[in-house]
Structure 1
Amino acid sequence: MKTILITGAGSGLGAELAKRWAKEGHRMVLVGRTKEKLTSICHHIEKENATCLSYQCDITNPDDLAHLTKKLKEDDLSIDLLVNNAGIGTFGSLEEMTISDIHHVIDTNVKGTIFTTQAFLPILKERKGRIMNIISTAGLKGKKHESVYVASKYAVRGFTESLWKELEGTGVSATAVYMGGMNTPFWSHSNHISDPTRLKSALEKAKQIIEEDKGQKEIFIDR
């Protein structure tokens, strides 16, 4: 049994990954901003006789993350797999993007991933654990009306590839997950995708990721 921590676990892909890994017998640690959502997912997992704990945390805030790692130590929890799943997207032409939109995307997708990884690296080194970064195919090629989102995902791609080199000899590994879009509330505030229902569900994506995951450096889903 592994202990798996997932950020952005209150809904969408994060929640579905948690449910599926829990069914395989792993202990789940859910992290997100909304306590009620996390509690709901944990209750669902616990009904399946699996172990689930949840912690409210803003991953863009290093102080929050420091408090989280301290709380995990107090609860005698070590992490075997850190899944940096939390992410947001704001779409449209660059001229239409507000400064606030840009900061929000970069703060969550880039800084949040870096801050979380930095906070948990000492714990992961103790366990010779692994980092899984959910990047999306936006980290592989440019896309119209996704300039800031794509920039954020390219940043996480570069961060992950640099970790491969930096973590050599530490026992900690990192996996980049590149996947196409999915049908979640991610698109609810955008007309960027005309028909999100044509996309696979978060449940289907979670199943694919877990089935494809063999501990390799890169996983490609629906490129």
Structure 2
Amino acid sequence: MKTIIVTGAGSGLGKELSLLFSQQGYDVLLTGRSAEKLSAVKAEIEHAGGTAEYVELNVQDESNIFKKMEEFSKSYKIFGLVNNAGVGHFGPFSKITQQEISEMLDTNVLGTILMTKAVLPFLQELGEGLLINIISTAGLRGKVNEAVYAASKFAVRGFTESLQKEYENSPINIKAVYMAAWILPFG
């Protein structure tokens, strides 16, 4: 069975994508920082008849990422990766702290690059694959109170578009997905 790895799979979009891929017959490898949340998603997938495993993984930890991906490749037929893990701190640029800046860049940009670098060789070896980078509409245009977040998403966009060109004649399908938070008025 083909395996899809989903980062940030413990909640939100990562959880929903994991459920969707499991319903399409993929084995899903859930990754994230909370074993409790990942375990709950695994149980939900299995209750619906799908298969999943989970592992705590911080996308900023290069040595652990490569070690884990090597381990996974021995037990799973790695077919795809969804780079979903992300962090956003919002507000006036002058109020964003160095810690918040580093967290966004290290998770959103470096995490996406490291996970891709670790998984892409397995897709190449398989001779097919799917790589999905969840970006954001903040990667399409700047937004008020989102300067650093937008910068991180523009970086992921550039990374993704460059990979698309590099692998355009390859059986590896590379997709950029631009998500947005929609607020619906009630009343």
The Cα of 1:168 is off from its aligned counterpart by 3.6
3-state secondary structure, aligned to 1:83: strand
Letter in 1 for 2:117: Q
The Cα of 1:73 is off from its aligned counterpart by 2.5
The separation in 2 between residues aligned to 1:118 and 1:161, in whole angstroms, is: 15
Structure 1 length normalisation: TM-score? 0.79
1:43 aligns with 2:43: yes
Count of aligned positions:
184
The Cα of 1:179 is off from its aligned counterpart by 1.9
The separation in 1 between residues aligned to 2:44 and 2:102, in whole angstroms, is: 34
1:102 aligns with 2:101: yes
Q: Which residue matches 1:32?
A: 32
Question: Within 5 A, what are the aligned runs for 1:198-217?
Answer: 198=184
Q: Which residue matches 1:116?
A: 115
Structure 2 length normalisation: TM-score? 0.93
Question: Within 5 A, what are the aligned runs for 1:69-108?
Answer: 69-74=69-74, 76-108=75-107
The separation in 2 between residues aligned to 1:22 and 1:173, in whole angstroms, is: 19
Structure 1 residue ranges (4+ consecutive) displaced by more than 6 angstroms after TM superposition = none
Residue by residue over 1:63-90, the C-alpha shift from the partner in whole angstroms, topping out at 9 and shown as x without a partner, is 110121122023x212212100000100
Letter in 1 for 2:93: L
Q: Which residue matches 2:65?
A: 65
Letter in 1 for 2:171: G
Letter in 2 for 1:121: L
The separation in 1 between residues aligned to 2:67 and 2:37, in whole angstroms, is: 20
3-state secondary structure, aligned to 2:178: strand
Letter in 2 for 1:79: I
Indicate conservation of the 8 Å contact 2:82/2:133, yes or no.
Answer: yes
3-state secondary structure, aligned to 2:77: coil
Residue by residue over 1:164-192, the C-alpha shift from the partner in whole angstroms, topping out at 9 and shown as x without a partner, is 1222444322100012115xxxxxxxxxx
Question: Within 5 A, what are the aligned runs for 1:122-161?
Answer: 122-127=121-126, 128-161=128-161
Q: Which residue matches 1:12?
A: 12
Residue by residue over 1:104-125, the C-alpha shift from the partner in whole angstroms, topping out at 9 and shown as x without a partner, is 0000000000000001111111
3-state secondary structure, aligned to 2:133: strand
Residue by residue over 1:114-157, the C-alpha shift from the partner in whole angstroms, topping out at 9 and shown as x without a partner, is 00000111111122112100001001001000000000000000
3-state secondary structure, aligned to 1:82: strand
The separation in 1 between residues aligned to 2:2 and 2:164, in whole angstroms, is: 22
The separation in 2 between residues aligned to 1:73 and 1:3, in whole angstroms, is: 10
Indicate conservation of the 8 Å contact 2:2/2:76, yes or no.
Answer: no
The separation in 1 between residues aligned to 2:48 and 2:171, in whole angstroms, is: 32
Paired-residue identity, %: 45
